[in-house]
């Protein structure tokens, strides 16, 4: 016979599971209302080959900026989502950009990116850019920027692919 406590706990777990699994459907995204968005700071960073890349290179696109590191388990858990987003939206609609905060720089990040099939732009963070975004208290920190260059959302910690897709679709009018 199932005790009332076990039944209650089972029911509570089921409610929590349904809420977690349907969060994106119930709350489609954490997008800031367009009237409340602020301009994303301009930045220029080096890619893994040492070439300068500017924020203005992505004008008119939805941008996902992911501050991450090769040694960060939640960051690594998000990588397949970012690979899928890049495949789904391509370079015309979305600029998926990983900004590595690894202290080893390109020496560490370049082989990691190749071994893990990262199909999107990887840049190396600098203190100026981190400060311009208000500092990065934890990683991953992911910032979604709309086509007008305004910050549409900021996620600290592991975020689901479903959440990012909902935001990108909304920003692209899909």
Tens digit of pLDDT for each residue in 69-83? Answer: 999 999 999 999 999
Q: How many Cβ atoms are within 10 Å of 171's Cβ, its own excluded?
A: 24
Assessment of whether the complete model's pTM goes beyond 0.85: no
Is residue 24 very low, low, confident or very high in pLDDT (cuts 50, 70, 90)? Answer: very low
The two structure tokens encoding residue 29: 């995204």
What pLDDT was estimated at residue 29? 56
**Which DSSP helix (H) or strand (E) runs through 124?**
strand 121-124
Tens digit of pLDDT for each residue in 42-79? Answer: 999 999 999 999 999 999 999 999 999 999 999 999 99
Distance CA 151, CA 74 (A): 22
Question: Quick one: average pLDDT of 92-105?
Answer: 96
b/e burial code for range 125-159 (CB count within 10 A of at least 16 → b): beeebbeebeebeebbbbbbbbbebebbbebeeeb
Q: How many Cβ atoms are within 10 Å of 113's Cβ, its own excluded?
A: 20
Q: State yes or no: pLDDT of 9 exceeds 80.
A: no
Q: State yes or no: pLDDT of 158 exceeds 60.
A: yes
Residues pairing with 68 in the sheet: 100
Can you name the CATH fold of 31-172?
A: Glutaredoxin (3.40.30)
Tens digit of pLDDT for each residue in 128-149? Answer: 999 999 999 999 999 999 999 9
Q: State yes or no: pLDDT of 18 exceeds 80.
A: no
**Structural domain spans, the chain:** 1-27, 31-172
């Amino acid at each position: 016979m199932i005790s009332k406590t076990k039944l209650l706990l089972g029911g509570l777990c089921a409610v929590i599971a349904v809420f977690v699994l349907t969060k994106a459907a119930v709350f489609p995204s954490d997008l800031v209302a367009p009237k409340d968005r602020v301009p994303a700071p301009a930045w220029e960073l080096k890619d893994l080959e040492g070439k300068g890349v500017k924020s203005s290179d992505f004008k008119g696109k939805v941008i996902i900026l992911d501050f991450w590191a090769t040694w960060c388990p939640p960051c690594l858990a998000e990588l397949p989502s970012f690979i899928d987003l890049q495949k789904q939206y391509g370079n015309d609609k979305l600029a998926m950009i990983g900004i590595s905060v690894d202290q080893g720089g390109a020496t560490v990040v370049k082989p990691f990116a190749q071994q893990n099939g990262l199909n999107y732009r990887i840049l190396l963070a600098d203190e100026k850019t981190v400060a311009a975004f208000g500092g990065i208290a934890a990683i991953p920190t992911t910032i979604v920027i709309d086509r007008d260059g305004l910050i549409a959302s900021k996620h600290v910690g592991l975020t689901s692919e479903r959440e990012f897709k909902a935001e990108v679709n909304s920003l692209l009018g899909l």
